[in-house]
Amino acid sequence: MQNLNTYILAIESSCDDTSCAILCNNKVLSNVTANQKIHEQYGGVVPELASRDHQKNIVPVVDAALKKSGINLYQLNAIAVTRGPGLMGSLLVGLSFAKSLSLALNIPIIEVNHMQAHILAHFIDDSAADENSLSPTFPFLCLTVSGGHTQLVKVKDYLQFELLGETLDDAVGEAFDKAAKIMNLPYPGGPLIDKYANNGDAYKFKFASTHVPGFDYSFSGIKTSFLYFIQNNLQKNEKFVEENLKDICASYQFHLIQVLLKNVKEALQKTGLKQLAIAGGVSANSQLRQRVKALETELGIQTFIPKFEYCTDNAAMIGISAYYKYLNNDFSDLSLTPLARLSVS
Ligand code: KG4
Ligand code: ZN
C-alpha cells in the first residue's frame, strides 16, 4: 500500500537563525530554532560570525527537531533547504548539510526560495483550529516585510508569484533596526521599538517620507531623517532620547506603518484583490498586526496574520514550501548552489 504521509526535514540558515523543522504533509511536527545572540553588540548581523555559528548550531538543532518530532531519519521522504536569498556563508552551511543528508539517506533534496517561504507559512495546518489558522485562497496580496526585504506580491498559486512592488533601498526591518542602533538599543531593534511604542504618543513627532512611483518603497531617506532628528535634538538636550524614548518609538513606528499601508491599499484597489496577508519578521509587529486587521472593516477585505512563530525566520515555512514542490515532483540535484539574490517571482 502507498504511504500517504510525506515526511520532510527542512533546514533554514539564510541569515542569523539556524532552524530545522520536521513536517508530516502540511503539519509541523517540530520546529526548532537557535537564535544567534552574538550580533546584538554589533547593531546588525556580521556575516562571518553568522556562518560560524550556523556550523556550531546545525547538528544540535537538527538532532533536537528529530527528537521532538518522534520521526527517525529513515522515515524521511525528502530534505528541504533554503537556496536564497541570504548571506552566502550562512546559506552554504545549510545547503552543504542538506546535501550530505540527502546523499546519505538517498532521498531527494528540494530547494526553497526564502521569500516565497515566508508567504507560504500561511498554509501550515495548525489544527488547533481557531479563526486565525484559516489560510488565504488564491489569488491574494501579500505584504512581506523582513530584515532584508519589503515586497508586495500577488500570490497566484503555491508555486506562482508576481512581484508588484519592492523596496528600492533599505528594507523596513532595517529601518527599524538602524533607528534602534541610533538610539543605542541592541540588535534586532524592531521588537524593542514595538515594545516601547506601546506606551508612547504616535502623533508627537513627524518624519519625512520619500515619494516613490508605483508600488515600490524607499526607506533609506526615512532612516536618514530619523538620524538628523535625533542628532538635532541631542544637541539641544543630551537626555532627549532617554526622556522621549516611548514617544519617539511610537511616532517612528506609526510613520513606517503608514508608508507600508499606503501602497497596500493602492494595490488592493488596483488589483481588486479581496484578501491580504502579511509575512516576514516585521509582521510580528503589534501595531502593524492591529492596523492590518482593521482594514477588514475599513475596506471590506479578509486579512491573514501569521502566528508569531512563523513571522521571523523558521524552518517550518521552508518545509511547507517544499511539501507543495514535492507534490509537484519539483526536486533539485546535488549540483545545487546557494544564491545571495533570488527574486520571489
Ligand atoms: O524575517 P526575518 O526574521 O529575517 C529576514 O529574513 O530578514 O526578519 C527580521 C526582521 C528584523 O529587522 C527585526 O527587527 C524585525 O524583523 N522584527 C520586528 C519585530 N519582530 C521582528 N520589527 C518590528 N516589530 C517587531 N515586533
Ligand atoms: Zn526571512
Q: How far apart are CA 53 and CA 254, in angstroms?
A: 35
* Nearest-atom index, ligand 1, CA of 174: 12
Q: Give the three cell numbers for residue 317.
A: 515555512
Q: What is the pLDDT of residue 133?
A: 65
pLDDT of 86 higher than 70? yes
By alpha-carbon position, which residue is closest to atom 21 of ligand 1? 281
Q: What is the pLDDT confidence band of residue 128, given thresholds at 50, 70 and 90?
A: low
Q: What is the pLDDT of residues 144-195, one digit of tens each?
A: 999 999 999 999 999 999 999 999 999 999 999 999 999 999 999 999 999 9
Q: How far apart are CA 203 and CA 216, in angstroms?
A: 25
| Mean pLDDT across the chain | 95
- Distance (Å) from CA 179 to ligand 2 centroid: 20
Q: What is the pLDDT of residue 44?
A: 80
pLDDT of 263 higher than 70? yes
Q: How far apart are CA 152 and CA 166, in angstroms?
A: 6
Q: How far apart are CA 47 and CA 16, in angstroms?
A: 8
Indicate the length of the chain as a whole number. 345
* Nearest-atom index, ligand 1, CA of 14: 6
Q: What is the pLDDT confidence band of residue 2, given thresholds at 50, 70 and 90?
A: low
Q: What is the pLDDT of residue 43?
A: 76
Q: What is the pLDDT of residue 37?
A: 84
CA neighbor of 318 nearest in space, from 51, 4, 61, 53: 61
**In percent, how much of the chain has pLDDT > 70?**
97
Q: Give the sign of the dihedral formed by CA 265, CA 267, CA 271, CA 277.
A: negative
* DSSP per-residue codes, 220-231: HHHHHHHHHHHH
Q: What is the pLDDT confidence band of residue 130, given thresholds at 50, 70 and 90?
A: low
- Distance (Å) from CA 189 to ligand 1 centroid: 8
Q: What is the pLDDT of residue 4?
A: 86
Q: What is the pLDDT of residues 192-234, one digit of tens each?
A: 999 999 999 999 999 988 889 999 999 999 999 999 999 999 9
What is the 8-class DSSP label of residue 136? P
pLDDT of 76 higher than 90? yes
Q: Pocket around ligand 1: residues whose beta carbon is below 6 Å from it?
A: 15, 146-148, 173, 176-177, 188-191, 194, 280-282, 284-285, 312-313
Q: How far apart are CA 156 and CA 345, in angstroms?
A: 11
Q: Give the three cell numbers for residue 67.
A: 527528537
Q: What is the pLDDT of residues 21-30, one digit of tens each?
A: 999 999 999 9
pLDDT of 332 higher than 80? yes
Kindly give, in sequence order, each residue whose CB lies less than 8 Å from that of residue 177, ignoring residues fewer than 6 positions away: 43, 44, 147, 187, 188, 189, 190
Cα–Cα distances in Å, from 270 out to 141, 149, 256, 265, 275?
11, 22, 22, 9, 13
pTM for this model (two decimals): 0.96
